[in-house]
Structure 1
Amino acid sequence: MDQEHIADGAEGAGRRRFLAMATGAATVAGIGAVAGCGTGGGGAPGGDASGGAGADGAPKPGGSASAPAPGAGFDVKAENARPGNADWHVTKAGPARAIEGFADRVSVLPGESFGLHVSTTAPRFTVSAYRMGWYGGARARLVWRSEALPGVRQPEHTVEPGTRMVRTRWPRTASVDTKGWPEGCYLLRLDAQGGEGQRFVPVTVRSAATAGRTVIVNAVATWQAYNRWGGYGSYDGPSGGYASRSLAVTFDRPYEYDDGAGLFLVYEAPLVALAERLGIPLAYATTTDVAREKRLLEGASAVLSLGHDEYWSPEQRAHFTAARDAGTNIAVLGANCCFRRIRLEASDLGPDRTVVCYKSSYDQDPGFKRGHPATVDFRSPPAADPESSLLGVIYDGYPVDAPYVVTNPGHWLFEGTGAKAGDSFAHLVGVEYDKVNTGFPTPRPIEILAHSPVVCEGRPSHQDSAYYTVPGGAGVFATGTMRWVEALDASGDGRSGADHGLDARAGALTTRVTENLLRAFAAGPAGRSRPARDSVKEVYGTP
C-alpha cells in the first residue's frame, strides 16, 4: 500500500469533513499525499422586459438590471455604488431535501442562458439571483427574481459502478436568461413556498476577456471534490472509508452543505467583497474556464487563486504558468493549492462537468490507460511536477492551528500594518499550510515574509508566506495558510473567521496586506518595481 493510500485511507474522511465544516422544463421569462503531518515535510504527504426596479430599488420579478455588454468594460465601482440587499442569506434551510438544485452551466457569459434543475417537496418555489460583492457592506445585490414556479420532487440519484460517481439525471426545471446581469459571482437562492426551505445554487457570470484586469477565479473543481451530496465525494463514501470514495464527481448534482453554496462563502466571498470595495478593475472566471480557454488570461494584470484551490487540471496549470511568464501577477490566497492533478470530462449535460481524480488508484483509470496524464498528486510519479515550481511554496501537511509570525515587516506588503518582527497572530496558520522547501523545484529569488513554527502531529515544521519574481516581471505571492481569506472577516463578532478563534488583529493584518497586494498587482508586473530579494539562506540557513 503506497504512502498516499495510507494517508488518505486513515484521514481522508476526517480531512474532508474538517475542511468542509470549517466551511418538463418551465421557461422563466427574462431569464504526495494529502497526508497527516506524520509523513514528514518532503514526502508525498415575471416582470417587464426592461428590468425596471420597484420602490425599494430591487428588480421587479422577472426583470433584470442593466449592465455593460460583454467586452464593454465592466465598472466595478459603479456596480458597487448601487444599493445592496442584506437579506440575501439562507436563514431557513429547512429539512435536507426540502429544496435543492444545481445549474447545468458552471459559468456563462453575460446574456447567455442556463438551466436550473430543482427538486423540492413544496408545490411552488422562487429563484432570486444575488450578485456577490461589497455594496456598502451588504455583500450582495438582488439582480433578478423569478415568479413562482411549479415544484417537483425529482427522481432519486444513482451511483455509477466502478467510479462510484453520483448521477441525478434530473429534468430541467427552468431556463434562466442572464441578459443584463453584470459579470461576477452569483448565488441563486431557491425559496420553497411557505418557508419550507432555502438553498443556494452558485453560478459565475464570467468575463469574455481579462486584459488589464485582476481575475477572480472560483475554485469550482475543488468545491465539487469536497461535495458529498448523494453520499459520495472524492474522499469517502457512505462507509466513511477512502476505498469507497468517488473516482469521478460531477457538477450534475446539488452541493451537500446546509446552504448549497459549496465552498464559496467560506473561502472566496470575503475576498470578492474586499476586491470590489477597492474598486480595482476585475474579471471573473472559474477553474474550468481557465482550463478550457488557452487565451483567457492573456493580458490580465493579475490572477487570484482563493482560499481552497486544491484540484487543478494540467491545462489550468499550464495557462497560469504561461500568464505568469508573460507578466501576469499571481496571488495564491490559501494553501494546498494546485495539489491534485485532475482531468475534466463531459457529463450528460455538457463539457467539463466531470472531475476525474483517481489519486493512488491512477493505474486503474481508463483515461490513463489511453495516454492521459495520471490523475494523482502533481508531485507524485508518474511524471511528477511539484506545485512549488509555480507557487514558490509547497504543501507541507495538516492539521495545524498556530500563530502567524511576521519575520520581514519591512516588506512592501506589510506597509501600513504596524507589524514588527516577531509579531504573531493567533490561529491564522491552519488548517493546512505551505512552506518554502528547496528540496522541490523553487523559483528564485524568493522572499520569505512570515515564518511560523508549527507542530503537526508531533512533527516540528514551519509555515511560510513568500513572494518571488520572474524575468518577465510578474510577481507571485503565496500566503501559505488556508485561513487567509476567512481571516478577512475576522473581527470577533461571530462572523466566519471567528470560528477558529481569529480576532480583529488577524482581520486587520490580512485585510491591509491583501489591499497592498491587490493594488500593486493591479498596476501591472509587480517584479519590475518590486523585485524579490532572496532570503532563503537568511531564514533557513541553507542556500
Structure 2
Amino acid sequence: MAITGVRWRALSAGLALLLAACSGAGAPGGSGPASSLLPSSSPPGSAGRPGGAAGPWTVAAENALPGSPDWPISAPGATEEIQGFADHAGVRPGAPVGMFVSTTASSFTVRAYRFGWYGGARARLVWSSPPVPGVRQPAAVVHARGTAVAPWQRSLSVPTDGWPPGSYLLRLDAASGGHRWVPLTVESPSVAGTVVLLQAVTSYQAYNTWGGANLYTGPDGSAATRARAVSFDRPYQDQDGAADYFTLEQPLVAFAERLGLPLGYRTGLDLDQDPQSLAGAAAVVSEGHDEYWSPAMRATLTAARDHGSNLAFLGANAIYRRIRFEGSALGADRVEVNYKVPQEDPLYGKDDARVTGNWPDPPDADPQSALTGQAYACYTATDGPLVVADPTHWIWAGTGVRAGQQLAGLVGPEADHLDAGNPAPAPLAVLAHSPLACAFGPATTADTTYYTAPSRAGVFDAGTENWICALRSDSCPGVPDGDRQAVQMATANLLRKFAAGPSD
C-alpha cells in the first residue's frame, strides 16, 4: 500500500485473535443463497497420504484425515521468550529446512502444522521434533539501507520427508510456555493441472518490523528512516510470527482445500527463481495483498497467462511495488530491495529496468493493469459496500444477487479501480462497481473485473482486500453472513471453473 498500515495492522490482529478463538467452529455456507457451495463434511476415504495408506495423494484425501484442533496459540508469552525463522520460504517435499531459534527457555520443540480444512479443525499436525536445547541468540544487527538481520546460529534442521505439499506454520514451543510461528510452504513437485495458491511472502516481508524497520517506517516511526531493503534472515513480528498469514492467506487455504480441487503451492520467490515454476498450471491465485513483485516474478506470471493459465487476484493492490532481490549468507533472494523513490536507487539512470519503485511510474513504467485488468485506487477511509454491476455473469451464478445490490463492508481497506490513464485488456467485464471513500484524496470507485486473454485464460481481479475476509467460515467483521456467503459462492464458481483450464 502507499501509506503506513496502522488500521490494517489493527484489523489483522483482531482477525487473528478471532480466528484462534473460533478455530473449530463454523463452516462456509450455512443458511442463505450460498449454503450448498461446499460439502457438509470432509470427503470420505483416507488412502493416499504420505505416511499413511498407499495410493496417490489428493487434497480431498488429505482433508479426510483428522485435524488437530489444538493448533492455535492462545498465550504466546513475551517475544523474547521464543522466536525464530527458516532459511527457506518454501521447499520441495523431502528438502531439509534450517531453523534459527532464539529462546530464554532451557529447551524448545517444533511442531509442523499443515493448514487446510480438516472438517473445520483447519490444521493437521504432520511432524514434531524432540526437545532442542535453548539458546538466547544475539540482538538484531542493522546494516546499510536499514536492513535488520538476526545474526543467529542454526538451531536444528527440520526434515520434510513424507510431508504433503501445502501451506504450513511451524510452531515453536518453549519449555517455559512461550510460543511463536514460522511460516513455510511445502511446494508441489509439479503444478501441472492444478490451481496454484501463491503465498505473498514478499509483501509479508515488506511490512515486517522485526529489528526496527520495514519498507514503510523506521525505528522512530517515520518514513524517512524506513529500510530500503529488508531481509528474510529474521523472524516475522506480526501475528505471533505468522506475518499476515491468518488475515490474508489462511481463509483462502481452508476454503480452497474444502472444495477438494487439485491444488498446487508456490511462493512469490519461486516465480523469481524459476520461470517454469507455473508450467501447466490450470490457474494461479494471488491472495489478498500481493503488492511486491520483481520483473522476473511478473514475467513468469504473464507467461503462465499467455500459455492458458487462469489468474485470480483475490484482493487489491497486486503487483504495485517493483522490487529486486539480492542474496544473503543463507542463499539467493534473501534480501528484498525497494527504494520506493526511484531517484534514491543507485541503479537509477544506469539500469532502469532494475530500478525499484512503483510499477506504474517511471523510469521504466509498466502499469500492473496490463496484467491484472485494474489500477490501484487507494487506501480506504472506511470499509464500504460492494455494489453488484452484472449479476448475469457466471461468477454470480447461484448467489441470488441483483443489479445494484450492496454487499456490505466488502470494499477495503485497499481497493483497485478502472483508470483511463492506465492500460487494460479489452473487452473487460465489470462485475461490481462500488463507491470508494479514500483516506487521502478524492472519492472514486472500486471495481471487480474479468477479462479473457488471447490464450483463452480468464483473469479475475476482486479489487478489494476484504474479499479474502469474506471466505472465512465463521464471520467477517462488518460483513453480514448473507453477503459473505454470496462472495463464497462466487469464489467457488470461480475456482471450480478455473480448475477446468482456460475459461473463456
With structure 1 as the length reference, what TM-score do the two structures score?
0.83
Q: Are residue 421 (structure 1) and residue 403 (structure 2) matched?
A: yes
Where does 1:77-88 land on structure 2 (aligned, <5 Å)? 77-88=60-71
Looking at structure 1, the residues matched to 277 and 308 of structure 2 have their Cα atoms a distance apart, in angstroms, of 14
CA contact (8 A) 2:390 2:431 kept: yes
Q: Are residue 525 (structure 1) and residue 495 (structure 2) matched?
A: no
Give the AA of the match of 1:355: E
Q: Which one is further off, 280-289 or 431-440?
A: 431-440
Where does 1:300-319 land on structure 2 (aligned, <5 Å)? 300-319=281-300
Q: Which one is further off, 392-401 or 123-132?
A: 392-401
- 1:16 corresponding residue in structure 2: 5
Looking at structure 1, the residues matched to 458 and 124 of structure 2 have their Cα atoms a distance apart, in angstroms, of 33
CA contact (8 A) 2:286 2:312 kept: yes
* Deviation for aligned residue 1:325: 0.9
* Deviation for aligned residue 1:168: 1.2
Q: Are residue 250 (structure 1) and residue 227 (structure 2) matched?
A: no
SS across alignment from 2:146: coil
User: C-alpha deviations, 1:336-358, integer Å up to 9, x for none?
Assistant: 00000000111111111111001
User: C-alpha deviations, 1:518-539, integer Å up to 9, x for none?
Assistant: 0000001001xxxxxxxxxxxx
Looking at structure 2, the residues matched to 74 and 323 of structure 1 have their Cα atoms a distance apart, in angstroms, of 25
Cα-Cα RMSD: 1.8
- 2:98 corresponding residue in structure 1: 115
Q: Which one is further off, 384-393 or 255-264?
A: 255-264
| CA separation of 1:429 and 1:201: change in aligned 2, threshold 3 A | same
Aligned equivalent of 2:306, options 314, 317, 325: 325
Looking at structure 2, the residues matched to 362 and 175 of structure 1 have their Cα atoms a distance apart, in angstroms, of 42
CA contact (8 A) 1:67 1:182 kept: no
Give the AA of the match of 1:411: H
Where does 1:24-63 land on structure 2 (aligned, <5 Å)? none
- 2:492 corresponding residue in structure 1: 515
Looking at structure 2, the residues matched to 228 and 115 of structure 1 have their Cα atoms a distance apart, in angstroms, of 22
* Deviation for aligned residue 1:96: 2.0
- 1:440 corresponding residue in structure 2: 422
Give the AA of the match of 1:17: V
CA contact (8 A) 1:227 1:262 kept: yes
Looking at structure 1, the residues matched to 274 and 104 of structure 2 have their Cα atoms a distance apart, in angstroms, of 39
CA contact (8 A) 1:407 1:450 kept: yes
Give the AA of the match of 1:119: S
CA contact (8 A) 2:283 2:312 kept: yes
- 1:66 corresponding residue in structure 2: 51
CA contact (8 A) 2:193 2:282 kept: yes
Looking at structure 1, the residues matched to 52 and 267 of structure 2 have their Cα atoms a distance apart, in angstroms, of 21
- 2:193 corresponding residue in structure 1: 212
Give the AA of the match of 1:99: I
Looking at structure 1, the residues matched to 168 and 194 of structure 2 have their Cα atoms a distance apart, in angstroms, of 19
Looking at structure 1, the residues matched to 411 and 181 of structure 2 have their Cα atoms a distance apart, in angstroms, of 29
* Deviation for aligned residue 1:208: 2.0
Please list every run of 5 or more consecutive structure 2 residues that lacks an aligned counterpart in the other structure: 13-48
CA contact (8 A) 1:417 1:509 kept: yes
Please list every run of 5 or more consecutive structure 1 residues that lacks an aligned counterpart in the other structure: 1-6, 24-63, 528-543
* Deviation for aligned residue 1:455: 2.2
| CA separation of 1:453 and 1:208: change in aligned 2, threshold 3 A | same
- The alignment covers a number of residue pairs equal to 466
Looking at structure 2, the residues matched to 112 and 422 of structure 1 have their Cα atoms a distance apart, in angstroms, of 51
Looking at structure 1, the residues matched to 292 and 146 of structure 2 have their Cα atoms a distance apart, in angstroms, of 19
Give the AA of the match of 1:399: T
Looking at structure 2, the residues matched to 490 and 403 of structure 1 have their Cα atoms a distance apart, in angstroms, of 20
User: C-alpha deviations, 1:351-375, integer Å up to 9, x for none?
Assistant: 1111100111444335874565111
- 1:39 corresponding residue in structure 2: none
Aligned equivalent of 1:295, options 257, 268, 276: 276
Looking at structure 2, the residues matched to 440 and 107 of structure 1 have their Cα atoms a distance apart, in angstroms, of 34
Looking at structure 2, the residues matched to 151 and 515 of structure 1 have their Cα atoms a distance apart, in angstroms, of 45
Aligned equivalent of 1:265, options 246, 254, 258: 246
